[in-house]
Amino acid sequence: MSMDSNLLKTIIRIANMNYIGRYKLENKLGEGTSGIVYRAYDPLMDRTVAIKAIKAGTMNENEIKQAISEFHHEAKIAGKYTHENIVAIYDVIKEGGLDYIVMEYVPGCSILDYMTTIGAMDVEETLSVIYKCCIGLAYIHYHGVIHRDIKPGNIMYHPVNGIAKITDFSISQKIEEQPIQNSGSIGYMAPEHFDENRKITTLTDLFALGSTMYKMLTKKYPFSKEDTASQIMNEQAIPVYELKSEVPREVSYIIDKAMAKTDKDRFQSAAEFAFEIKQTMERFYPHSPLINSSKDYVLM
């Protein structure tokens, strides 16, 4: 199916790294299957931003429409919230027949890209990042939002500044909404994704964060790629301390609890998860500069 001339011009302009609206594109920050994120400059606000664009050149018309729908959904869900552990969404703009999300620019890279460079992360750094993600999840859960796609690729991280922020709310939902069960990134999905008799809840995000913590420490998925859904529902992951001897059993226990098969055996809130991590940090790394307790009010 041929594209209209405006859409084609837009794709060509993006490829040549010029402008989207008033925003001057500077460089590409990353890309996925259907989207590209650019660093850009906003001359009106005199600030650096990130712009998420649809990878329209590789998509058909229906796929483009679906991606635009997800953009609007993400902006509507996440655009109203501001928190130091959530990537802020500033605006959705239209240019040449396509929509773009204008977001907060976060220096650094995703945890996924960070691990591609350094390998598995050490325990202290992992606890710090997961703690901050817990605080971010506690905030959005309080406001009635389930993220649904927590994974290393959706956590922005700047190791020097200790910044950790959750991003990509494209498949998130309000707690009261009827969810699509089997939707997410399978390596981090909870058992309830595959059981029509169970509900997707805020605890689903905690399972995904536990799976993310597992991957950060070991560079391995909790389960293999063969029959993953069956494994998630019926098998226990190998304890992290068995794969990485320097991981204290207390840390491995935190992961096991976050990834419990049943809701009643998991942490009952992101705040409880955060509190457990803070206690563990204080025990094993009492002088660590990596954990910031300035948001302890969330745990009250």
User: For position 61, what pLDDT does the model report?
Assistant: 79
Question: Does the pLDDT value for residue 150 go beyond 70?
Answer: yes
CATH of 5-104, one of 3.60.20.10, 3.40.50.620, 3.30.200.20, 3.90.550.10: 3.30.200.20
Three-state DSSP at 214 gives helix
For residue 111, which of 156, 148, 150 has the smallest C-alpha distance? Answer: 156
CATH number, domain 109-299: 1.10.510.10
Structure confidence at residue 298 (pLDDT): 47
Average pLDDT over every residue of 238-261: 96
What pLDDT, on the 0 to 100 scale, is given for residue 76? 84
User: What band does 294 get if pLDDT is binned at 50, 70 and 90?
Assistant: very low
pLDDT, tens digit, 9 for 90 and up, residues 71-110: 888 888 888 888 999 999 998 888 877 889 999 999 999 9
Asked whether 210 and 255 are in contact (CB, 8 A), the reply is: yes
- Residue 56 CB contacts under 8 Å (≥ 6 apart), including other chains: 3, 7, 10, 11, 64, 98
The helix-helix angle for 249-258 and 202-218 (nearest 10°) equals: 140
pLDDT at 118 > cutoff 50: yes
DSSP 86: B
Mean pLDDT of the chain: 87
Name the band, by pLDDT with cuts 50, 70 and 90, for residue 299.
very low
Cβ contacts of 283 within 8 Å, gap of 6 or more: 250
Secondary structure string (H, E, C) spanning 232-284: HHHCCCCCHHHHCCCCCHHHHHHHHHHCCCCHHHCCCCHHHHHHHHHHHHHHH
The domains of the chain are located at: 5-104, 109-299
Spatial distance between the Cα atoms of 53 and 38, rounded to a whole number of angstroms: 8
The pLDDT of residue 242 is above 50: yes
